[in-house]
Structures are given as C-alpha cells and as structure tokens.
C-alpha cells in the first residue's frame, strides 16, 4: 500500500474519476508477464489472429503514438486537471507499462514491452474488476502460472488454468471499453450502450460478435473443440466488419422530375449488425456520413442536401466546410495563432453526419477525449437495431440534362476527421473513408 501511495504521489494524482483503475498501477514488473510469442508456440492460430488485431497494436500504431506523445502526455504535464492521463492512456493501451509503473513509457522505437499492447497475459490474468459496472481500466490482475479461461474441462501442459466467468463476460471488455474523462463525461461507453440495448437482453455477448467460434484446436496438445473462440477482435479498422454493418435503402419521392423543379429522396439506414451504436468507441473522432448526389444523363454531378429535422444540436450533423473546430490542438501544442481545423474534414457539404460531438471546458469541439467536459449536446449515431430515415433534396438546375438520371447514396466511415489526419501528417490509411454501403435509384428527367 505504501508503494502504491508513493507512485500515486509521483504522478500527482488526486482527482478521482480517471483513477478508478489506479489500484494495479506499478504493482508489478514487466518480467511478471510472459510474452505473446511464448504463448504463440502452442496457441498458433490464436496468436496469428491477435497479431493482426488492433489489440496487439494498441500502443504502437501511428495515431495512438501521435495522440499520446504529441497531445495527451504534454497536456498532462501542464494542466493539473488532466495529469492522470499520463498513466491512464497507458493503462488501456500499453497495460504492461502501467502495471510495471513505467510511466510515461518510452516511445515505440525504444522497443519496451509497452509495445506488446493488450497482450495475452493481460486478458488471461485479469480476475475481475474493482467496479460493479467496470470502466477506466478498473481491472484486478493476477500474473503467474494460472491462466484465466472460459472452459471447465481443460488441461494444459504449459500452465495452470482456472475457469473464470469474468473472462466470458462483457464486463471484461468494459474494463477498457468504457471511459470517463477527468471532467466526468462518459467518453467511451460501448459496454453501456450494449447493456442498454437489445443484445444484452438476448444474452449475445461482445465475444459472440468479436470472437466468433469455429471448430479448431485452441492449444497444441489439447483437445479439438467444435467451438474454438477466435481472437479476431475485428472492429472499424477492418473494412470487412464495417461493410454492410448498416443497411441502406434509397427511394425517390418523384419518378419523374423536370429542370427547375425539386427532387426529394428518402434514405433508410438500419443498424442490424452491431451490438452498440455505430460509430461506437472513440466517438470523439469517428464519423459515419451519408452523401447523396444525382448524376444526369450527360454524367454531370449535382449534390443533394439533407433536409433538416430541427432537433437540438443538428448543426453538428450537417457537413459544413466552413465550420471550424479542434482549436485546442493549438493550446496543447503551444501553436501561436492556431485557428483550428475544418470540423468535418472533406465530407461534402450537406451530407448527414452520424456522430456525437465532444466539447472541451471552453466549449470548443475536440478530439481530445481526456479534455472533454460535455458530450450530451447531441448524439446522432445509429443505435443497435435502430433505423434512421433521412430526406435529401435538390432543386434541379435549368441546364440539367434530360433523360435517365441516377441518384447515388454512399455511406462512409472515417476513424479521424481528414483535417486532423492531414495536420498530423498521418498515413492516409489512418483516416481514409471506408465504404459501409451504397444504394442507387433511377429518376427520369423530362
């Protein structure tokens, strides 16, 4: 206890929320945990899957490194209120460093074991949480020979095993997938979204959609199982998981239109596949948007604009190339005269954006989830099994070509606003739009 207190004092952590999970900080050494490659010797397939998943890259991948070392860490050193994130980010993204008290960890190129990310030993040594409804890395962890697992009838030549209800439960995921900012805002709540939605009531767990089952041998020398749990953890970084995640239908209100007249189309978007909102997780920087345009008989394109519904905060859900945001990047990085970046990146004007904007204590929209004081202004994402209906309109110009025209609707997703990605010179794949769905309808221009 004395040791724990001294570590906490060094990090100058007083304010509660982000430090719900501080119980395990600095209690261990890197050497208390085995390396994923050790496990991979017998758990070959699972190791390969984990290696490709974001879990193994949670500390090393480009945007994580940039956001921690260029924004969160310097910010934690100059603003007392957010000082806890120095260790907090690392608890979920490079847990071995957090558990070993190596805070802040060295950058990725130093090759420390922080780079192992959310490793096998993390999930299979976690025995529970200090919280009834977990969040903020509130896991309790017990390294050693015994691995926590989902089965009762297991023997392993490599280690002891303990059947754990917690390993099987969505609460394991909640320890890292739900997060409260130092200002008390819920800045990640995938678990809470799931819990409030239909899937929890039907007993469909996170594991059932993100760790699907198929016949296989989970460990060399072990039994063949009809239902081995695969460690894919595919989420929005995998186009195959996003493709079709939202159903899209498109209808023209008029079959025939003429130049100078209005054309209205109706789109219906149904979240039939995700157990939580889409987008979920890092909501501060995720955008899902619907862009709609008409291509006339000569191939010329005209954008349709979403029709306002009049709800509170709707302005944040309509793409506007003039809107600025993220001014706090300048504050954090000490940039003189920084005016902010385009709020919606390159999303075409008039598109509908399904998002939940986050705001810092100054009321500026932010991608810094740790600096978020408020995010209940508007939440216009698509909930599990929810359908959203949108109308888009175009006043057909006088010179539109007569004949068969096509209206196309594209539903796209991006991890980070392109303006932010470009500002930090990230590789394009970190923020390039990913196609979720597409629909078309024909109209006759007479």
Kindly identify the residues of this chain, within the stretch 13-32, that bind ligand HEC according to CB under 6 A. Answer: none
Cβ proximity to ligand HEC: between 32 and 38 the closer is 38
Phi, psi (deg, nearest 5) at residue 201: -70, -25
Angstrom distances, CA of residue 38 to CA of 92, 118, 119, 149, 152 = 22, 15, 11, 17, 23
Of 6-14, 116-124, 326-334, 352-360: span binding ligand HEC (CB under 6 A):
116-124
Q: Which of 169, 170, 186 is nearest to 178 (CA)?
A: 186
Of 142-150, 255-263, 294-302, 403-411: span binding ligand HEC (CB under 6 A):
142-150
Of 63-71, 295-303, 328-336, 341-349: span binding ligand HEC (CB under 6 A):
63-71
Token duo for residue 86: 């120095």
CB 139, CB 166: distance < 8 Å: no
Dist CA 128 CA 171 (whole Å) = 8
Cβ proximity to ligand HEC: between 274 and 396 the closer is 274
- Choose which of 11, 20, 93, 383 interacts with ligand HEC (CB under 6 A): 93
Contact call for residue 392 and ligand HEC (CB under 6 A): no
CB 373, CB 360: distance < 8 Å: yes
Task: For residue 427, give every residue at least 6 positions away whose Cβ sits within 8 Å of its Cβ, in sequence order, or none.
Answer: 62
Cβ proximity to ligand HEC: between 267 and 437 the closer is 437
By CB under 6 A, the count of residues binding ligand HEC is: 96
- Binding to ligand HEC (CB under 6 A) within 399-438 occurs at 415
Of 101-109, 186-194, 248-256, 391-399: span binding ligand HEC (CB under 6 A):
186-194
Contact call for residue 67 and ligand HEC (CB under 6 A): yes
Of 45-53, 303-311, 323-331, 385-393: span binding ligand HEC (CB under 6 A):
45-53
- Choose which of 19, 28, 98, 137 interacts with ligand HEC (CB under 6 A): 137
Cβ proximity to ligand HEC: between 56 and 293 the closer is 56
Q: Which of 107, 187, 237 is nearest to 367 (CA)?
A: 187
Contact call for residue 84 and ligand HEC (CB under 6 A): no
Neighbours of 446 (CB within 10 A): 10
Dist CA 15 CA 17 (whole Å) = 7
Phi, psi (deg, nearest 5) at residue 109: -65, -20
The mark string for 197-226 relative to ligand HEC (x by CB under 6 A, - otherwise) is: --x----x-xx-xxx------xxxxxx-x-
Using CB atoms within 10 A of its CB, is residue 426 exposed (0-12), middle (13-18) or buried (19+)? middle
Task: For residue 329, give every residue at least 6 positions away whose Cβ sits within 8 Å of its Cβ, in sequence order, or none.
Answer: 71, 335, 338, 340, 341, 367, 368, 420, 423
- Choose which of 158, 340, 348, 361 interacts with ligand HEC (CB under 6 A): 158
Cβ proximity to ligand HEC: between 57 and 267 the closer is 57
Of 156-164, 252-260, 292-300, 340-348: span binding ligand HEC (CB under 6 A):
156-164
Contact call for residue 356 and ligand HEC (CB under 6 A): no
Nearest distance from residue 37's CB to ligand HEC, in Å?
Answer: 9
Nearest distance from residue 350's CB to ligand HEC, in Å?
Answer: 23
Nearest distance from residue 443's CB to ligand HEC, in Å?
Answer: 31
Token duo for residue 216: 């296989």
CA angle 429, 432, 435 (to 5 degrees): 115
- Binding to ligand HEC (CB under 6 A) within 267-296 occurs at 273-276, 278-282, 286
> Nearest residue to ligand HEC, using CB?
281
Exposed e or buried b per residue across 132-152, where buried means at least 16 C-beta atoms within 10 angstroms of its C-beta: eebbbbbbbbebeeebbbbbe
- Choose which of 13, 20, 46, 400 interacts with ligand HEC (CB under 6 A): 46
Contact call for residue 39 and ligand HEC (CB under 6 A): yes
Phi, psi (deg, nearest 5) at residue 160: -75, 160
Q: Which of 182, 223, 215 is nearest to 15 (CA)?
A: 182
Of 173-181, 256-264, 352-360, 399-407: span binding ligand HEC (CB under 6 A):
173-181
Contact call for residue 266 and ligand HEC (CB under 6 A): no
Residue that is written with structure tokens 């998981």 in the block:
241
Residue that is written with structure tokens 């900080």 in the block:
25
């Amino acid at each position: 206890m004395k040791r724990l207190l001294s570590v906490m004092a060094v990090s100058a952590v007083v304010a509660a929320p982000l430090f719900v999970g501080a119980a395990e900080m600095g209690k261990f050494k890197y050497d208390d945990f085995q390396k994923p490659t050790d496990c991979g010797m017998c758990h070959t397939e699972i190791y390969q899957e984990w290696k490709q998943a974001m879990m193994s890259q949670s500390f090393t991948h480009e945007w994580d490194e940039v956001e921690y070392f260029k924004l969160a860490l310097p910010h934690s050193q100059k603003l007392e209120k957010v000082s806890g994130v120095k260790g907090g980010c690392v608890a979920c993204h490079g847990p071995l460093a957090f558990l070993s008290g190596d805070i802040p960890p060295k950058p990725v190129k130093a090759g420390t074991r922080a780079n192992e990310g959310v490793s096998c030993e993390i999930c299979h040594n976690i025995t529970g949480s200090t919280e009834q409804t977990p969040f903020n890395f509130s896991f309790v962890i017990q390294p050693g020979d015994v691995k926590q697992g989902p089965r009762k009838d297991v023997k392993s030549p490599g280690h002891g095993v303990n059947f754990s209800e917690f390993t099987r439960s969505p609460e394991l995921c909640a320890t890292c997938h739900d997060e409260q900012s130092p200002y008390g805002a819920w800045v990640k709540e995938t678990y809470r979204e799931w819990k409030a939605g239909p899937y929890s009531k039907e007993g469909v767990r996170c594991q059932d959609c993100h760790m699907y089952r198929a016949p296989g041998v989970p460990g060399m020398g072990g039994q063949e199982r009809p239902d081995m749990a695969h460690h894919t953890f595919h989420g929005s970084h995998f186009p195959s998981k996003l493709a079709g995640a939202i159903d899209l239908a498109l209808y023209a209100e008029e079959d025939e239109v003429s130049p100078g007249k209005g054309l209205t189309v109706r789109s219906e978007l149904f979240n039939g596949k995700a157990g939580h909102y889409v987008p979920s997780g890092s909501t501060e920087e995720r955008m899902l948007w619907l862009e709609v345009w008409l291509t006339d008989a000569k191939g010329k394109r005209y954008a349709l604009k979403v029709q306002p519904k009049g709800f509170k905060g709707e302005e944040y859900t309509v793409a506007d190339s003039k809107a600025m945001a993220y001014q706090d990047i300048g504050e954090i990085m000490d940039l003189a005269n920084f005016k902010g970046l385009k709020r919606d990146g390159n999303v075409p004007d008039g598109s509908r954006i399904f998002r939940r904007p986050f705001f810092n204590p100054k009321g500026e929209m932010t991608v810094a989830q740790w600096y978020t004081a408020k995010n209940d202004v508007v939440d216009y994402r698509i909930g599990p099994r929810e359908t959203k209906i949108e109308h888009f309109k175009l006043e057909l110009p006088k010179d539109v070509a007569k004949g068969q025209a096509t209206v196309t609707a594209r539903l796209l997703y991006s991890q980070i606003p392109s303006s932010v990605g470009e500002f930090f010179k990230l590789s394009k794949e970190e923020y390039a739009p990913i196609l979720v769905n597409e629909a078309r309808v024909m109209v006759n221009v007479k």
